[in-house]
């Protein structure tokens, strides 16, 4: 899957791919700019990247793990009620600090819904260090909706916090989000449309 983000106001292509062990090694090398190391958002994103790696490794031992879209489809055809772990990465070769700009740890439940367990963006992007990149977080969310549509999952859901509720409300065009969000029906279609028509998304 591909979509466009903005880097210093210029459109730049990024790719959303299924990740694996080798990609986690890249994520473990994420570093925050020294000046903004202590900022809460920056620290949180670093910690989330670490937790994502731990969680992904744990899932790898306990449930099925898909490392490609075909792999996911194959698991689902063999075992329709399988719980499947997915690590989605946003990659862009033009980003000097790392080839991984963001990640999302997701799980496909036995009901064929997707759970967004967490989403994290490179600490330098969170810190607003140059180049100023916009669209990684929202792009992942829209891509996830597109992925759900591709595999026929009717719902993407997840936890919202006091800090992220506003983001979801604006992103999903919903009046109020409390501690959870559901992307389904018209909202899911709207996100998929945004992916295809507004952010240059190619499935």
Tell whether residue 132 is a contact of other proteins (CB under 8 A).
no
Comparing CB distances to other proteins, the nearer of 134 and 184 is: 134
Among 1, 119, 147, 148, binds other proteins (CB under 8 A): 119
Q: DSSP letters of 76-112?
A: HHH-TT--EEEEEEEE-TT-TT-SEEEEEEEEE-TTS
For residue 201, which of 19, 5, 8 has the smallest C-alpha distance?
5
Closest distance of CB 164 from other proteins, Å: 5
Prior bond of 131 cis (ω within 30°): yes
What is the Cα–Cα distance from 50 to 44, expressed in whole angstroms? 10
CA distance 130 to 148: 33
CA 125/CA 98 separation, integer angstroms: 11
Interaction residues for other proteins, span 159-178 (CB under 8 A) = 159-161, 163-164, 166-168, 170-171
Q: Is 158 in the site for other proteins (CB under 8 A)?
A: yes
Distance, first Cα to last Cα, the chain = 4
26 belongs to the binding site for other proteins (CB under 8 A): no
The answer to whether residue 21 forms part of the interface with other proteins (CB under 8 A) is no
Q: Which stretch binds other proteins (CB under 8 A): 19-27, 44-52, 69-77, 107-115?
A: 44-52
For other proteins, which residue of 18, 117, 148, 187 counts as binding (CB under 8 A)? 117
Q: Interface residues with other proteins (CB under 8 A)?
A: 4-6, 9-11, 38, 40-48, 50-51, 54-55, 58, 116-121, 123, 126, 134-135, 137-139, 142, 158-161, 163-164, 166-168, 170-171, 194, 197-200
């Amino acid at each position: 899957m591909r979509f466009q983000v903005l880097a210093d106001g210029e459109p730049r292509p990024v790719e959303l791919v299924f990740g694996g062990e080798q990609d986690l090694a890249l994520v473990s090398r994420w570093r925050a700019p020294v000046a903004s190391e202590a900022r809460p958002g920056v620290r949180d994103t670093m910690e989330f990247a670490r937790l994502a790696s731990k969680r992904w490794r744990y899932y790898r031992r306990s449930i099925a793990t898909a490392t490609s879209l075909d792999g996911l489809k194959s698991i689902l055809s063999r075992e329709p009620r399988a719980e499947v772990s997915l690590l989605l990465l946003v990659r862009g070769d033009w980003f000097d600090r790392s080839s991984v700009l963001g990640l999302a740890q997701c799980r496909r439940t036995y009901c064929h819904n997707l759970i967004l367990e967490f989403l994290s963006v490179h600490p330098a992007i969170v810190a607003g260090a140059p180049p100023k990149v916009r669209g990684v977080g929202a792009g992942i969310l829209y891509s996830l909706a597109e992925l759900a549509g591709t595999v026929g999952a009717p719902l993407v859901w997840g936890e919202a916090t006091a800090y992220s509720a506003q983001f979801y409300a604006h992103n999903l065009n919903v009046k109020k989000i409390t501690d959870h969000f559901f992307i389904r029906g018209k909202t899911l279609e709207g996100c998929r449309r945004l992916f295809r028509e507004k952010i240059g998304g190619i499935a």
